[in-house]
Chains A and B, each alone.
Chain A
Amino acid sequence: MTALAFQTALARLIVEPDFRDAVRGEGASALPGPLTALEASRLVTIAHDRGLDMNRTLHKGFRLGKLRALLPLTCKLLMPSRLAGEVAAFWHDNPPASFSFLPEALEFCAFLEGRPLRSIYLAEVLAYERAVLELERARVGPAPPQSVRFRHDPVRLLGALAAGWRPRAVPARPCLLLGSKDGDAPVRWTLVDAVSPSGRYDRRHGASECGAKGSTA
């Protein structure tokens, strides 16, 4: 089954820049077997081909495009430079496995949650978009309701990001966003304000309905 090893190596040349650089530097000795001499020679030649770099650009564009589509507010909050660094660190240890990329988006959420990030809003935005994915992902049976705890006003915070702005000085507003989805209907969000100072949430007096879908709470 040398064709199988050949295809794996070819895919890795595109996905893993460290592997590509090793093949460029060390030649066939950097290639795992079993490969025929012709297959090894082909891979070494391809590693030096400019077209390989174009394929890597297209691969990254495709993969990043999926993350941007599934986590638009998180990507907006991170800004391009920070996003590029985080995505590169995530991709280094996570080869692309899924065609739909929704599992990858959820794994990226978990990855970011473990990173030291300076944004005071990121945890809330991340939790909200993870809840959206859980509500909208295809599944057997109804989607489990989601609850997202906010420390800042979610309407102002998420509204700014959805409008394409960086959120600044968002006022404090301890609250919960409760999300639910019924069949093909849009996601419905209910905002429940906390009753200070105990931190309990008051459904009766602080609740308001947000009929927005997806990223525009």
Chain B
Amino acid sequence: MRFPTPTLPKLGVGVAYQAPLAPLLAAAGPELDYVEVVPDILWTDLGRAAEPRYLDDRAGRRALEHAAAARPIVAHGIGLSIGSAGMFDTAHVDQVERWRRRLGFAWHSDHLAFHLAEHGDGSMNVGITLPLPRDRETVELLVPRIREVRQRVPVPFLLENNVYHFDIPECEMDEPTFLNRLCRESGCGLVLDLHNVYTNARNHGFDAAAMLAEMELEHVGEIHVAGGMELDGFYLDAHSDTIPDPVWALLEWILPRCPNVGGVTFELFGSWFESVGNARIRADLRRLRALWAAVLRPARRPAPRAVELA
């Protein structure tokens, strides 16, 4: 069964909210259209046995609303661990829905990965997103869960392609085939993280542009861009810098080809804000906004050009 592609509002250019970025958001003008928030920071989870389980962070909500300054807010979660084989936490999904009603998320998303695993009588939180086997069995695990999320939270739901430092050997599908099939069969959209694609391409030696060319881009609801750094022979999705040229090239090629994309979000960890600097970040936001505006004006759409990775 093929589900229709979710329809998202055309929001424009956003920034992933972190408290240290408040000065950036306060200074931003029309180059910033929306703010993306990790909803998990808005509450404290006291554990499944606790009643009540979730306590709201009122101060955190006030800080977010002040920083967003009436701009739309979308949610990008980190706590669902939708790929965990032994657990699917519908209470967490319901908590996202409670906050959607409060803040009016236009859409919400999480990561196509797992970070919670069974361990003894409890669970283990690895704290980083781990890859899933790109097998039929994984699709069968995820599809009913995605449908459950879509029923419980009545706005489009997107999953983000993962960054991985080791790949699962002997998968049944390559990444584009896996993502295409998952979106078709579940009705979820995709947060296409171009910096993740670029990072994986550098670390595993494949052609990012060729991979993107195999994807069904009508599923892309949001695009993530960021900068990274080298460590011990790996390139890391560290969210530590402005957008590198090869990621710009990927974005300029793909954005006009994503008919249902609702926004492009720039990600930077708050601890890097001072060293990167407000001016460089705002320059990237203005460039993103100009690209977004050009793509929304079909008559002036830039001609797609070949993509070359550095």
Contacts and interface: CB of A to CB of B under 8 A. Distances in A.
B45 A62 contact: no
A96 interface: yes
A97 B170 contact: no
B128 A59 contact: yes
B119 interface: yes
Contact of A139 (B55, B79, B125): B55
Contacts of A59: 126-128
A107 interface: no
Contact of B55 (A4, A46, A140): A140
A211 to B, nearest CB: 18
Contacts of B45: 99-100
B85 interface: yes
Nearest to B164: A51
B169 interface: yes
B124 interface: yes
Contacts of A45: 169
Interface string A73-107: 00000000000000000000001111110000000
Q: B58, B79, B125 — which one has the most chain A CB atoms within 10 A of its CB?
A: B125
A42 interface: yes
A194 B86 CA distance: 55
B165 A14 contact: no
B169 A42 contact: yes
A3 interface: yes
B292 to A, nearest CB: 32
A210 B165 CA distance: 48
Contact of B165 (A3, A51, A137): A51
Contact of B86 (A4, A12, A95, A98): A4
Judged by DSSP, the binding face of B is: mixed
Q: A49, A95, A98, A139 — which one has the most chain B CB atoms within 10 A of its CB?
A: A95
Interface residues of A, number: 38
B234 A54 contact: yes
A58 interface: yes
B130 A10 contact: yes
A132 B232 CA distance: 37
B202 to A, nearest CB: 12
Nearest to A7: B117
Interface string B158-189: 00000011111110000000000000000000
A49 B236 CA distance: 16
A96 B164 contact: no
Contacts of B84: 7
A216 interface: no
Given A10-B130, A138-B55, A138-B57, A41 B170 contact: yes
A38 interface: yes
Q: A6, A38, A54 — which one has the most chain B CB atoms within 10 A of its CB?
A: A54
Contacts of A117: none
B59 interface: yes
12 contacts: A1-B86, A4-B118, A6-B85, A8-B117, A8-B124, A10-B130, A11-B124, A11-B130, A42-B169, A51-B164, A54-B165, A99-B40
Sorted nearest first, the 3 A-B pairs with minimum C-beta distance are: A51-B166, A51-B165, A138-B44
Given A42-B133, A54-B165, A139-B55, 11 more contacts: A3-B85, A11-B117, A11-B126, A11-B130, A12-B124, A42-B169, A55-B165, A58-B128, A95-B120, A97-B122, A138-B55
Interface of B: 40, 44-47, 52, 55, 57-59, 79, 84-86, 114, 117-120, 122-128, 130, 133, 137, 141, 164-170, 203, 231-234, 236
Interface of A: 1, 3-4, 6-8, 10-12, 14-15, 38, 41-42, 45-46, 49-52, 54-55, 57-59, 62-63, 95-100, 137-140, 184
